[in-house]
Protein backbone atom coordinates (compact mmCIF):
# COMPACT_ATOMS: atom_id res chain seq x y z
CA UNK A 1 0.00 0.00 0.00
CA UNK A 2 2.75 2.35 1.01
CA UNK A 3 4.68 1.62 -2.16
CA UNK A 4 1.71 2.29 -4.36
CA UNK A 5 1.07 5.53 -2.57
CA UNK A 6 4.70 6.60 -3.02
CA UNK A 7 4.56 5.66 -6.69
CA UNK A 8 1.40 7.69 -7.21
CA UNK A 9 3.04 10.63 -5.48
CA UNK A 10 6.14 10.43 -7.66
CA UNK A 11 4.02 10.19 -10.78
CA UNK A 12 1.98 13.17 -9.71
CA UNK A 13 5.09 15.18 -9.03
CA UNK A 14 6.62 14.22 -12.36
CA UNK A 15 3.42 15.08 -14.21
CA UNK A 16 3.23 18.32 -12.30
CA UNK A 17 6.72 19.37 -13.30
CA UNK A 18 6.06 18.45 -16.94
CA UNK A 19 2.90 20.50 -16.84
CA UNK A 20 4.81 23.39 -15.34
CA UNK A 21 7.41 23.25 -18.09
CA UNK A 22 4.74 22.98 -20.74
CA UNK A 23 2.95 25.98 -19.31
CA UNK A 24 6.12 28.00 -19.43
CA UNK A 25 6.62 27.30 -23.10
CA UNK A 26 3.09 28.20 -24.02
CA UNK A 27 3.00 31.51 -22.19
CA UNK A 28 4.24 34.57 -24.04
CA UNK A 29 7.70 35.42 -22.87
CA UNK A 30 7.74 37.94 -20.03
CA UNK A 31 9.48 40.98 -21.41
CA UNK A 32 12.52 41.85 -19.38
CA UNK A 33 12.50 45.56 -18.68
CA UNK A 34 15.16 47.31 -20.73
CA UNK A 35 15.87 49.72 -17.94
CA UNK A 36 15.40 49.78 -14.18
CA UNK A 37 15.31 53.03 -12.25
CA UNK A 38 16.25 53.02 -8.57
CA UNK A 39 14.81 55.68 -6.28
CA UNK A 40 16.25 56.82 -2.96
CA UNK A 41 13.49 58.40 -0.89
CA UNK A 42 13.91 60.46 2.26
CA UNK A 43 10.48 59.56 3.66
CA UNK A 44 7.93 56.77 3.39
CA UNK A 45 6.12 56.45 0.05
CA UNK A 46 2.75 57.01 1.71
CA UNK A 47 3.60 60.22 3.57
CA UNK A 48 0.78 62.08 1.86
CA UNK A 49 3.17 64.73 0.60
CA UNK A 50 6.72 65.13 -0.60
CA UNK A 51 7.88 61.53 -0.99
CA UNK A 52 4.49 60.33 -2.15
CA UNK A 53 4.61 62.90 -4.95
CA UNK A 54 7.91 61.41 -6.13
CA UNK A 55 6.64 57.85 -5.74
CA UNK A 56 3.49 58.55 -7.73
CA UNK A 57 5.69 60.08 -10.40
CA UNK A 58 7.68 56.85 -10.51
CA UNK A 59 4.51 54.77 -10.81
CA UNK A 60 3.21 56.90 -13.68
CA UNK A 61 6.60 56.67 -15.37
CA UNK A 62 6.46 52.87 -15.23
CA UNK A 63 2.93 52.89 -16.65
CA UNK A 64 4.04 55.21 -19.43
CA UNK A 65 6.69 52.78 -20.67
CA UNK A 66 4.34 49.77 -20.56
CA UNK A 67 6.78 47.18 -19.24
CA UNK A 68 9.90 48.53 -20.89
CA UNK A 69 10.96 50.29 -17.72
CA UNK A 70 10.69 49.12 -14.15
CA UNK A 71 11.65 50.77 -10.88
CA UNK A 72 12.84 49.86 -7.41
CA UNK A 73 13.08 52.10 -4.39
CA UNK A 74 14.46 52.40 -0.88
CA UNK A 75 12.43 54.60 1.49
CA UNK A 76 13.24 56.35 4.76
CA UNK A 77 16.87 57.06 3.90
CA UNK A 78 18.32 59.72 6.17
CA UNK A 79 19.56 62.35 3.74
CA UNK A 80 21.87 64.02 6.22
CA UNK A 81 23.81 60.75 6.51
CA UNK A 82 25.98 60.54 3.38
CA UNK A 83 27.14 57.04 4.25
CA UNK A 84 23.56 55.77 4.48
CA UNK A 85 22.72 57.48 1.20
CA UNK A 86 25.76 55.90 -0.46
CA UNK A 87 24.80 52.47 0.83
CA UNK A 88 21.26 52.90 -0.46
CA UNK A 89 22.53 53.94 -3.89
CA UNK A 90 25.01 51.09 -4.06
CA UNK A 91 22.34 48.66 -2.96
CA UNK A 92 20.07 49.72 -5.81
CA UNK A 93 22.95 49.48 -8.30
CA UNK A 94 23.74 45.97 -7.04
CA UNK A 95 20.11 45.04 -7.63
CA UNK A 96 20.59 45.91 -11.29
CA UNK A 97 19.34 49.48 -11.48
CA UNK A 98 20.63 51.47 -14.44
CA UNK A 99 19.47 54.87 -13.22
CA UNK A 100 19.57 56.21 -9.66
CA UNK A 101 17.29 59.04 -8.62
CA UNK A 102 18.04 60.84 -5.35
CA UNK A 103 14.77 62.48 -4.34
CA UNK A 104 16.08 64.86 -1.70
CA UNK A 105 18.67 67.61 -1.52
CA UNK A 106 20.87 65.74 0.95
CA UNK A 107 21.52 62.82 -1.43
CA UNK A 108 23.64 65.08 -3.63
CA UNK A 109 27.01 64.19 -2.11
CA UNK A 110 26.38 60.45 -2.35
CA UNK A 111 25.22 60.64 -5.98
CA UNK A 112 28.20 62.78 -6.86
CA UNK A 113 30.57 60.22 -5.39
CA UNK A 114 28.91 57.29 -7.17
CA UNK A 115 28.66 59.07 -10.53
CA UNK A 116 32.31 60.12 -10.50
CA UNK A 117 33.72 56.96 -8.94
CA UNK A 118 34.56 55.45 -12.34
CA UNK A 119 32.78 52.20 -11.45
CA UNK A 120 29.42 53.29 -12.76
CA UNK A 121 30.17 55.18 -15.95
CA UNK A 122 27.43 53.27 -17.74
CA UNK A 123 24.84 54.19 -15.08
CA UNK A 124 22.94 57.45 -14.70
CA UNK A 125 22.41 59.60 -11.61
CA UNK A 126 19.59 62.13 -11.33
CA UNK A 127 19.29 64.42 -8.36
CA UNK A 128 16.28 66.48 -7.31
CA UNK A 129 16.76 70.07 -6.13
CA UNK A 130 20.58 70.08 -6.11
CA UNK A 131 23.13 72.00 -8.15
CA UNK A 132 25.80 69.39 -8.92
CA UNK A 133 26.23 67.61 -12.26
CA UNK A 134 28.96 66.26 -14.52
CA UNK A 135 29.47 66.09 -18.28
CA UNK A 136 28.11 62.60 -18.90
CA UNK A 137 25.93 60.73 -16.42
CA UNK A 138 25.02 62.99 -13.47
CA UNK A 139 22.35 65.66 -13.65
CA UNK A 140 20.05 67.61 -11.36
CA UNK A 141 16.43 68.56 -11.90
CA UNK A 142 14.02 71.02 -10.38
CA UNK A 143 11.05 73.12 -11.37
CA UNK A 144 9.41 76.52 -11.21
CA UNK A 145 7.02 75.80 -8.37
CA UNK A 146 6.85 79.58 -7.94
CA UNK A 147 4.50 79.69 -10.95
CA UNK A 148 1.98 77.51 -9.14
CA UNK A 149 2.56 79.42 -5.90
CA UNK A 150 1.71 82.66 -7.69
CA UNK A 151 -1.58 81.18 -8.87
CA UNK A 152 -2.31 79.85 -5.39
CA UNK A 153 -1.64 83.36 -4.07
CA UNK A 154 -4.22 84.71 -6.52
CA UNK A 155 -6.79 82.28 -5.14
CA UNK A 156 -5.98 83.29 -1.57
CA UNK A 157 -5.86 87.02 -2.33
CA UNK A 158 -9.27 86.86 -3.97
CA UNK A 159 -10.90 84.88 -1.17
CA UNK A 160 -9.48 86.39 2.01
CA UNK A 161 -11.75 88.57 4.10
CA UNK A 162 -9.27 89.62 6.78
CA UNK A 163 -6.57 90.39 4.19
CA UNK A 164 -4.18 88.38 6.32
CA UNK A 165 -2.76 85.18 4.86
CA UNK A 166 -0.83 82.64 6.91
CA UNK A 167 2.18 80.79 5.55
CA UNK A 168 3.78 77.84 7.37
CA UNK A 169 7.33 77.73 6.04
CA UNK A 170 9.98 75.08 6.63
CA UNK A 171 12.97 77.34 7.20
CA UNK A 172 14.23 80.69 5.97
CA UNK A 173 16.02 79.17 2.98
CA UNK A 174 16.07 80.49 -0.59
CA UNK A 175 13.72 77.90 -2.07
CA UNK A 176 11.13 78.56 0.65
CA UNK A 177 11.45 82.32 0.36
CA UNK A 178 10.98 82.22 -3.42
CA UNK A 179 7.71 80.40 -2.77
CA UNK A 180 6.60 82.96 -0.19
CA UNK A 181 7.49 85.81 -2.53
CA UNK A 182 5.64 84.29 -5.47
CA UNK A 183 2.59 83.61 -3.31
CA UNK A 184 2.64 87.16 -1.95
CA UNK A 185 2.97 88.69 -5.42
CA UNK A 186 0.11 86.54 -6.68
CA UNK A 187 -2.11 87.58 -3.80
CA UNK A 188 -1.19 91.26 -4.21
CA UNK A 189 -1.94 91.11 -7.93
CA UNK A 190 -5.62 90.69 -7.13
CA UNK A 191 -5.73 92.39 -3.72
CA UNK A 192 -3.13 95.10 -2.99
CA UNK A 193 -4.02 95.25 0.74
CA UNK A 194 -3.15 91.66 1.46
CA UNK A 195 -0.40 90.73 3.92
CA UNK A 196 1.34 87.38 4.34
CA UNK A 197 2.52 86.30 7.81
CA UNK A 198 5.16 83.60 7.83
CA UNK A 199 6.03 81.16 10.60
CA UNK A 200 9.09 78.97 10.09
CA UNK A 201 8.99 75.63 11.89
CA UNK A 202 12.68 74.78 11.50
CA UNK A 203 12.30 71.48 9.62
CA UNK A 204 10.86 70.20 6.33
CA UNK A 205 8.11 68.32 8.04
CA UNK A 206 6.83 67.99 11.60
CA UNK A 207 3.05 67.61 11.68
CA UNK A 208 2.68 68.75 15.28
CA UNK A 209 4.66 71.90 14.73
CA UNK A 210 3.06 72.61 11.38
CA UNK A 211 -0.33 72.30 13.01
CA UNK A 212 0.65 74.46 15.99
CA UNK A 213 2.15 77.09 13.69
CA UNK A 214 -1.04 77.22 11.64
CA UNK A 215 -3.08 77.55 14.83
CA UNK A 216 -1.05 80.52 15.97
CA UNK A 217 -1.41 82.18 12.55
CA UNK A 218 -5.16 81.63 12.67
CA UNK A 219 -5.28 83.11 16.17
CA UNK A 220 -3.54 86.20 14.79
CA UNK A 221 -6.37 86.67 12.32
CA UNK A 222 -5.20 84.87 9.19
CA UNK A 223 -8.12 83.28 7.35
CA UNK A 224 -6.28 81.29 4.67
CA UNK A 225 -3.32 79.06 5.50
CA UNK A 226 -0.80 77.71 3.07
CA UNK A 227 2.39 75.79 3.62
CA UNK A 228 5.85 74.89 2.44
CA UNK A 229 6.13 71.85 4.67
CA UNK A 230 5.38 68.20 4.19
CA UNK A 231 2.30 67.23 6.17
CA UNK A 232 -1.40 67.97 6.06
CA UNK A 233 -1.30 69.43 9.59
CA UNK A 234 -1.86 73.06 8.51
CA UNK A 235 -4.92 72.03 6.46
CA UNK A 236 -6.46 70.30 9.46
CA UNK A 237 -5.80 73.32 11.70
CA UNK A 238 -7.47 75.60 9.16
CA UNK A 239 -10.49 73.31 8.91
CA UNK A 240 -10.85 73.23 12.71
CA UNK A 241 -10.87 77.02 12.80
CA UNK A 242 -13.36 77.32 9.94
CA UNK A 243 -10.72 78.85 7.67
CA UNK A 244 -9.39 77.83 4.23
CA UNK A 245 -6.19 76.00 3.36
CA UNK A 246 -3.94 75.62 0.34
CA UNK A 247 -1.82 72.44 0.39
CA UNK A 248 1.47 71.52 -1.21
CA UNK A 249 3.19 68.72 -3.15
CA UNK A 250 0.13 66.62 -3.87
CA UNK A 251 -3.54 67.20 -4.55
CA UNK A 252 -4.37 65.79 -1.14
CA UNK A 253 -7.56 67.21 0.33
CA UNK A 254 -7.11 65.92 3.89
CA UNK A 255 -9.45 68.63 5.10
CA UNK A 256 -12.29 68.76 2.56
CA UNK A 257 -14.04 71.69 4.25
CA UNK A 258 -10.95 73.86 4.03
CA UNK A 259 -8.99 72.66 0.98
CA UNK A 260 -8.91 75.09 -1.94
CA UNK A 261 -6.05 73.87 -4.13
CA UNK A 262 -2.32 73.09 -3.97
CA UNK A 263 0.83 73.85 -5.95
CA UNK A 264 1.96 70.39 -7.06
CA UNK A 265 4.82 68.58 -8.75
CA UNK A 266 4.35 66.11 -11.61
CA UNK A 267 7.69 64.38 -11.23
CA UNK A 268 6.79 61.87 -13.95
CA UNK A 269 7.14 64.67 -16.49
CA UNK A 270 10.88 64.69 -15.81
CA UNK A 271 11.31 60.97 -15.13
CA UNK A 272 9.76 60.09 -18.48
CA UNK A 273 11.77 62.74 -20.30
CA UNK A 274 15.05 61.60 -18.75
CA UNK A 275 14.42 57.89 -19.29
CA UNK A 276 13.42 58.45 -22.91
CA UNK A 277 16.72 60.23 -23.48
CA UNK A 278 18.65 57.48 -21.72
CA UNK A 279 16.94 54.78 -23.79
CA UNK A 280 17.63 56.69 -27.00
CA UNK A 281 21.23 57.29 -26.00
CA UNK A 282 20.77 61.04 -26.15
CA UNK A 283 21.01 61.80 -22.42
CA UNK A 284 23.06 64.86 -21.64
CA UNK A 285 23.25 66.68 -18.28
CA UNK A 286 21.49 70.03 -18.63
CA UNK A 287 20.30 70.98 -15.10
CA UNK A 288 16.69 70.34 -16.08
CA UNK A 289 14.25 72.98 -14.92
CA UNK A 290 10.62 72.04 -15.47
CA UNK A 291 7.85 74.60 -15.76
CA UNK A 292 4.13 74.79 -15.99
CA UNK A 293 4.51 74.78 -19.76
CA UNK A 294 6.39 71.46 -19.72
CA UNK A 295 3.82 69.95 -17.38
CA UNK A 296 6.24 69.49 -14.50
CA UNK A 297 4.53 72.07 -12.31
CA UNK A 298 0.81 72.50 -11.85
CA UNK A 299 -1.84 74.00 -9.67
CA UNK A 300 -4.06 71.15 -8.47
CA UNK A 301 -7.68 71.41 -9.63
CA UNK A 302 -9.42 74.01 -7.50
CA UNK A 303 -12.12 72.71 -5.17
CA UNK A 304 -15.75 73.78 -5.24
CA UNK A 305 -15.03 76.22 -2.42
CA UNK A 306 -13.28 78.49 -4.93
CA UNK A 307 -15.85 80.79 -6.65
CA UNK A 308 -16.20 80.35 -10.40
CA UNK A 309 -14.99 83.88 -11.23
CA UNK A 310 -11.81 83.31 -9.22
CA UNK A 311 -11.25 80.03 -11.02
CA UNK A 312 -11.62 81.80 -14.37
CA UNK A 313 -9.18 84.51 -13.33
CA UNK A 314 -6.61 81.94 -12.26
CA UNK A 315 -7.08 79.80 -15.36
CA UNK A 316 -6.54 82.85 -17.54
CA UNK A 317 -3.28 83.69 -15.76
CA UNK A 318 -2.20 80.08 -16.01
CA UNK A 319 -2.77 80.16 -19.77
CA UNK A 320 -0.52 83.24 -19.96
CA UNK A 321 2.18 81.42 -18.00
CA UNK A 322 1.99 78.36 -20.24
CA UNK A 323 2.08 80.57 -23.33
CA UNK A 324 5.16 82.30 -21.92
CA UNK A 325 3.64 85.78 -21.90
CA UNK A 326 3.68 86.14 -18.11
CA UNK A 327 6.26 85.39 -15.41
CA UNK A 328 5.56 85.67 -11.65
CA UNK A 329 8.62 87.79 -10.96
CA UNK A 330 7.97 90.63 -13.35
CA UNK A 331 6.85 94.24 -13.17
CA UNK A 332 7.53 96.55 -10.24
CA UNK A 333 8.58 94.55 -7.17
CA UNK A 334 9.81 96.04 -3.90
CA UNK A 335 11.54 94.24 -1.06
CA UNK A 336 10.32 94.39 2.51
CA UNK A 337 13.14 96.86 3.29
CA UNK A 338 12.13 99.14 0.44
CA UNK A 339 14.81 98.31 -2.12
CA UNK A 340 13.50 97.93 -5.65
CA UNK A 341 13.91 94.41 -6.94
CA UNK A 342 12.43 94.68 -10.38
CA UNK A 343 11.41 97.67 -12.49
CA UNK A 344 8.16 98.11 -14.37
CA UNK A 345 8.27 96.29 -17.68
CA UNK A 346 11.14 94.03 -16.69
CA UNK A 347 11.27 90.52 -15.34
CA UNK A 348 13.80 88.59 -13.29
CA UNK A 349 15.60 85.56 -14.69
CA UNK A 350 16.13 82.36 -12.76
CA UNK A 351 19.51 83.37 -11.37
CA UNK A 352 18.13 86.69 -10.15
CA UNK A 353 15.12 85.02 -8.52
CA UNK A 354 17.38 82.63 -6.60
CA UNK A 355 19.57 85.54 -5.52
CA UNK A 356 16.77 87.59 -3.89
CA UNK A 357 17.38 86.07 -0.46
CA UNK A 358 14.71 88.07 1.34
CA UNK A 359 10.98 88.58 1.42
CA UNK A 360 9.11 91.04 -0.76
CA UNK A 361 7.02 93.87 0.62
CA UNK A 362 3.83 92.61 2.24
CA UNK A 363 5.33 89.38 3.57
CA UNK A 364 6.87 89.10 7.00
Partner 1 sequence: MQSFLATCIVAGTPLLFAIIGEIITERSGSLNLGVEGMMLLGAIAGFATAMSTQNPYAALLGAGLAGAGGALIYAILTVTLRANQTVTGLTLTIFGTGVASFVGQPMLGSTVPAEVSAFFAKRAAGVLADIPYVGPILFRQDLFVYFGYIICIFSAVYLYRTRLGLNLVAVGENTAAADASGINVNLYKYTHILIGGALCGLGGAYLSIVRIPIWQVDVVAGRGWIAVALVIFASWNPLKAFFAAMLFGGLSILGLRLQAMGFSFSQYLVDMIPYLATILIVILSTRKSGKGNLGPANMSRPYFREDR
Q: Which of 44, 67, 192, 242 binds partner 1 (CB under 8 A)?
A: 44
In whole angstroms, the minimum distance from the beta carbon of 141 to partner 1 comes to 25
Contact between residue 204 and residue 230 where contact means Cβ atoms under 8 Å apart: yes
163 binds partner 1 (CB under 8 A): no
Residue 158 vs residues 214, 226, 315: alpha-carbon distances, Å: 20, 14, 14
Q: Which of 171, 305, 322, 348 binds partner 1 (CB under 8 A)?
A: 171
Q: Which of 71, 200, 259, 296 binds partner 1 (CB under 8 A)?
A: 200
Complex with partner 1: residue 195 or 268, whichever CB lies closer: 195
Give the DSSP letter of residue 231: S
In whole angstroms, the minimum distance from the beta carbon of 330 to partner 1 comes to 27
In 3-state terms, what secondary structure has residue 135?
Answer: coil
The residue length of the chain stands at: 364
Euclidean distance between CA atoms 303 and 280, whole angstroms: 40
Q: State the sign of the Cα–Cα–Cα–Cα dihedral 103, 108, 113, 119.
A: positive
Residues 6+ positions from 339 with CB-CB distance below 8 Å: none
Give the number of residues in contact with partner 1, rule: CB under 8 A: 33
Residue 44 vs residues 47, 58, 97, 133, 340: alpha-carbon distances, Å: 6, 14, 20, 26, 43
216 to 245, contacts with partner 1 by CB under 8 A?
A: 216-217, 219-220, 222, 231-233, 236
Q: Which of 63, 81, 119, 208 binds partner 1 (CB under 8 A)?
A: 208
Complex with partner 1: residue 160 or 189, whichever CB lies closer: 160
198 binds partner 1 (CB under 8 A): yes
Euclidean distance between CA atoms 165 and 320, whole angstroms: 25
Q: Which of 17, 46, 95, 346 binds partner 1 (CB under 8 A)?
A: 46
97 to 126, contacts with partner 1 by CB under 8 A?
A: none
Q: Interface residues with partner 1 (CB under 8 A)?
A: 44, 46-49, 52, 166, 171, 197-202, 206-209, 211-213, 215-217, 219-220, 222, 231-233, 236, 254, 364
Amino acid sequence: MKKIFALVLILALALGSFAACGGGEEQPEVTEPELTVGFIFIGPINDGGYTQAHYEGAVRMKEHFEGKVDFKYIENVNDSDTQASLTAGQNLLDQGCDVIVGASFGFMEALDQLANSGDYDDKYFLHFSGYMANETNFDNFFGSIDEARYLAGMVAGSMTESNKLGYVGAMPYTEVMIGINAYTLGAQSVNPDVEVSVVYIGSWGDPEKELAAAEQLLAEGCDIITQHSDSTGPQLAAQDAGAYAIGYNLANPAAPNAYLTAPIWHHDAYYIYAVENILAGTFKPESYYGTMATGYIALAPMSDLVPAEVQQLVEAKKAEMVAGTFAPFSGYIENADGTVLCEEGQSLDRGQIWAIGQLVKGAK
